[in-house]
Amino acid sequence: MKFIIDECTGPKVAQWLAEQYDVFSVYDEMRGENDISIIQKAFHEKRILITNDKDFGELVFKQNIPHAGIILLRLKDERTKNKITVLKNFFNTFHDNPENKFIIITDVAIRILNFKKHNYYE
């Protein structure tokens, strides 16, 4: 699996995940870039976007912007340590492929929405 870690999710989360997966860090490589550019890059490179930015939900649901998969963290405790703990628990318990899904992870639940593969931007 390949991931793109949004700037708001943080470089330490990207560093931790890069120990196990192919990771692109927006903070390190595209700082300040707009959401459309980030989701397009993720789609073109078939990377699952991990973000705390709920604006990506609007891009997907209201504007029908294609994606390769999004994991939206909606946590009360936004500290890096908690984000890593939550993601660790998710990857240890979620054995399905997160590609082409919109996954919302809260402190108490995981909600998974499936999407058909889009062919836009190609």
**Domain residue spans of the chain:** 2-114
What is the pLDDT averaged over residues 29-36?
Answer: 94
What is the pLDDT averaged over residues 96-104?
Answer: 90
| pLDDT tens profile 63-81 | 989 999 999 999 999 999 9
The reply to whether CATH 3.40.50 applies to domain 2-114 is yes
Where residue 64 falls (left for φ over 0; alpha for ψ -120 to 50; beta otherwise) is left
pLDDT at 118: 46
pLDDT at 121: 36
Provide the sign of the torsion angle of the four alpha carbons 61, 1, 120, 40, taken in this order: positive
Look up the pTM and report it. 0.90
Which neighbouring-strand residues pair with 110?
105
| pLDDT tens profile 37-56 | 999 999 999 999 999 999 99
Q: Give the 3-state secondary structure of residue 115.
A: coil
